Structure 1
Amino acid sequence: MKPIVRVPLFAAVAATLLVGCDRAPKLEGVDPATQTAAEIADPAPPVTGREAPQFQFSDDDIGIALAPTPGFALRRDFTRDSLSGGAWKTFAAPDVRGEPLVALVLDGSDKITSAELRVGTSTDSHAVVTCLDPPEGATTEAPDEIRIDGQPFRHFRAADAAMSHYQSVDAYRSVRNGRCIAIDLRVTGTRPEVYDPPATPPFDEATAHARLQEALGAVRITR
């Protein structure tokens, strides 16, 4: 009678891994410990998470979306400064109804200096008729036309200031699907010298406007 030769577990696993080029084969009739060891030695490909979302905001009815925008926080209201009063667009007439839709707030924005990309909309008949008109007395140069995601928008620059507060705006307007679309790149704040000692802004106006122009590239016209 021939003696029984016992093969150590690690040797059985090693021999199994030598069979085949791609993955270790399923081991039939082998105890669970050996099977587990083989799977650890030759693990299955990792399960990947869900793909990054195409948009961080999307409204299919209005036809506006925002691609992910590093360095900005998404907000659903326009209530972070006293100059706009939460209106749906900059320099909106108080008797014209509209809807604040979404805002991208530049990281670091505070009460000294804040930078936001705001998207608002209105189906009010007066708002639609006057959508492309810049506010009287606020523009600093003649309006022009630019394209956002391939679609034409009327563009103008405007500014306003109180004794201690100010705002500087690049405004973009378009009439689409029976409504006025307003995109505002707003830099607002309190003049640092009104504080004692003078406050330090989180960023200067030039940097804020440059970052907002980058964020404008995240706007998608979907309808």
Structure 2
Amino acid sequence: MNILKRGMVFITFFGCCFGISLMAAAMSTKFWLEAEAVQKRLNPDKTLEVRPNSTGHVNFGLFKGRKALNVGFGMRLHPFDVESAVFMDYGLWVGTIACLSLGMMFAVVGALFAVINTATTPVEAITGVPGLYVWNTLAALFNLICVILWAVQFHENLTKNVLLYDASNGWTTEGMEVFGYSFWLVVVAIFVHVANIAIIFIGTYEPKAKDQVQAPDTKGSNIMLY
């Protein structure tokens, strides 16, 4: 492998490191979901209206969350554990964490073998350039599954009301939930690994030499006309 190809392969090391950083940030931050909150009250005519000066905000990640509610006396912050949140589907939550973890693991393997392929030419295909395709593809695939699982979680369970413990007091987030930036970090990580695959292809592609059609050898043959 020449210097140019090794350089292109080494670029994917930085891509994998960037992807790992994005996934680690997504794992540790608390903004997979954000929602505004309001408190509603029942009027004498049986209609609901939003109470003035009663506002709030909720955000949470894969492990920790925070709600800030204001009933007219300033914001009151209340941290909570996502694991104990009754509004979450436990299977989808575990699947999201597992896929994100696997995506990080394959990104680490991809970064490691990118360095190895820059320094030497491995004999085994799985540790060479074909392996780089595999590790980056698996990282992108598990990130994609992670995004899909959280999207299902969002639409099935998180668009109703994530303030169930405060619902008796009229608090609701229904219709005001959005994906937080932690979720979008994983989406960006998918494109990073797809870009890595494209770089590997461009950097290591070798077109097959076309078989040259050889003219028949006429040397030594004498054609005599009589």
TM-score higher than 0.5 here? Answer: no
TM-score scaled by structure 2?
0.23
Larger Rg: 1
Structure with bigger helix share is 2
Greater relative contact order (CA < 8 Å, ≥ 6 in sequence) = 2
TM-score scaled by structure 1?
0.23
Structure with bigger strand share is 1
